[in-house]
Amino acid sequence: MACAFFTVSGPGVSLVPQSGKAIVTLLIGGSYIKQWSEVIGNSWWHYADKHGFDLIAIVGPLDDSDTARNRSVAWQKCLILSQPWSHLYQRIAWVDADILINPYSPDIFRGVPDEKIGAVTTYQDSTISQLHISHSRYHGFSGTGMVDPDQHLLEEVKRAFYDFYVRVHGLEQIDDQIAPGEENMISTGVLVLSPVVHKAILEKAYYSFTERTRMYEQTPLSYLVHKNCLLYEINSRFNWCIGSHLLRHWPELWLFLNNKHYDKIDIDLLEHIMHNEYINSFFMHFATLIHLFNSIKTVSFPPQIGALSRAIKIDQVKFLGAI
């Protein structure tokens, strides 16, 4: 079944689904719309068409209130199940717009129970050494001091991470019964949802919390998912955060990108790394690396590809000569 593509300009818009499942994203701002429509969207189309999913791009705010205008647009993903068309779908996958999809990836909905929210979590595939490297390196570079490099035990690293985000988001003032283990925060860039079941949870995250950090909606939504025992961990390749992998394996390149020292970057090396990471991923997420995301020039896919080739090579991801 070929996929149907819909654009939604705001709240109250109706559409007629061509599938029981849809991938939904939000495109607000000229740079996102241009990059997605001219380059990135091609990968989404191939993937949706392969599995027969509808593809929905929301191109206008779902909430234009003063509250909405005074916080990140990222919060508006919490309103996607409140639209007139939402309940017409059995399942909806939310996918952030700064994600490049490997079109040969498997069905993201497969295996996720209807009552659960499918997501990737912070520590899902990380060893203690990987966690310690990531947290101490990131917060050493950024100066937050969130993780003491000498506190290397797994429970110490996880507790430091948890305490930091609970404290800065004020969650301890809402509910002091947060169970151990909930420090394993979900990444809300990719969510597998059931509209009828999960509408209320997303609305509660949107209307009951304020923006305290640059984690935006991720902290309160993660908190509510854990509190209501809704988490179903999906394969982390469905939310392959490239920034984390660069920080862990290519820290100098990560620093150049984050500090915008683009003249120091070897473009050939960057393309080689991105190519390999794309092969490793199902959905490659450029969170926090928007300049890198916007520098992607072309993404091409062979029209036919064998199983062995598919496991080894996904043609090329080409970047501009200057980021």
Give residue-wise pLDDT tens across range 264-321. 888 888 888 888 888 889 999 988 787 788 777 766 654 433 333 333 334 455 554 4
What is the distance between the alpha carbons of residues 247 and 202, in angstroms, rounded to a whole number? 31
Determine the average pLDDT of the residues in 122-145: 69
Number of neighbouring beta carbons within 10 Å of residue 12: 9
- Which helix (H) or strand (E) segment holds residue 294: the answer is helix 290-294
Instruction: Find out whether 295 and 270 touch, Cβ atoms under 8 Å.
Output: no
What is the distance between the alpha carbons of residues 242 and 96, in angstroms, rounded to a whole number? 14
Determine the pLDDT at residue 142. 53
Determine the pLDDT at residue 139. 66
What is the distance between the alpha carbons of residues 141 and 291, in angstroms, rounded to a whole number? 19
Determine the pLDDT at residue 54. 96
pLDDT-derived band at 26, boundaries 50, 70, 90? very high
Which residue, among 155, 149, 156, 119, has the nearest Cα to 134 in the 3D structure? 149
Instruction: Give the phi and the psi of residue 30 in degrees, each rounded to 5.
Output: -60, -40
DSSP, collapsed to helix, strand or coil, labels residue 280 as: helix
- Give Dmax over CA atoms of the chain in angstroms: 57
Domain locations in the chain? 5-122+184-319, 128-173
Residue 87 has pLDDT above 90, yes or no: yes
Number of helices and strands in the chain (H, E): 12, 12
Residue 322 has pLDDT above 60, yes or no: no
Instruction: Give the phi and the psi of residue 171 in degrees, each rounded to 5.
Output: -70, -25
Determine the average pLDDT of the residues in 34-53: 89
Determine the average pLDDT of the residues in 233-250: 91
Determine the average pLDDT of the residues in 15-44: 88
Each residue's pLDDT tens digit, 52-81 = 999 999 999 999 999 899 898 999 999 999
Residues near 172 by beta carbon (within 8 Å), at least 6 away in sequence: 166, 178
Each residue's pLDDT tens digit, 188-211 = 999 999 999 999 999 999 998 877
Determine the pLDDT at residue 301. 54
Determine the pLDDT at residue 305. 34
What is the distance between the alpha carbons of residues 248 and 270, in angstroms, rounded to a whole number? 15
pLDDT-derived band at 257, boundaries 50, 70, 90? confident
Determine the pLDDT at residue 97. 92
What is the distance between the alpha carbons of residues 193 and 90, in angstroms, rounded to a whole number? 9
Determine the pLDDT at residue 188. 93
Residue 230 has pLDDT above 50, yes or no: yes
pLDDT-derived band at 166, boundaries 50, 70, 90? low
Which residue, among 42, 276, 230, 201, has the nearest Cα to 119 in the 3D structure? 230
**Structure-token match 């070929």, residue found:** 2
Structure tokens at 315: 């043609």
Determine the average pLDDT of the residues in 28-32: 77
Determine the pLDDT at residue 258. 81
pLDDT-derived band at 95, boundaries 50, 70, 90? very high
Residue 177 has pLDDT above 60, yes or no: no
Determine the pLDDT at residue 314. 40
Residue 254 has pLDDT above 90, yes or no: no
Q: How far is CA 296 from the centre of its chain?
A: 18
Which residue, among 125, 249, 275, 270, has the nearest Cα to 187 in the 3D structure? 125
Query: Average pLDDT of the chain?
Result: 80
Residue 34 has pLDDT above 60, yes or no: yes
pTM to 2 decimals?
0.85
CATH number of 5-122+184-319: 3.90.550.10
What is the distance between the alpha carbons of residues 31 and 256, in angstroms, rounded to a whole number? 22
What is the distance between the alpha carbons of residues 300 and 296, in angstroms, rounded to a whole number? 11
Determine the average pLDDT of the residues in 139-155: 60
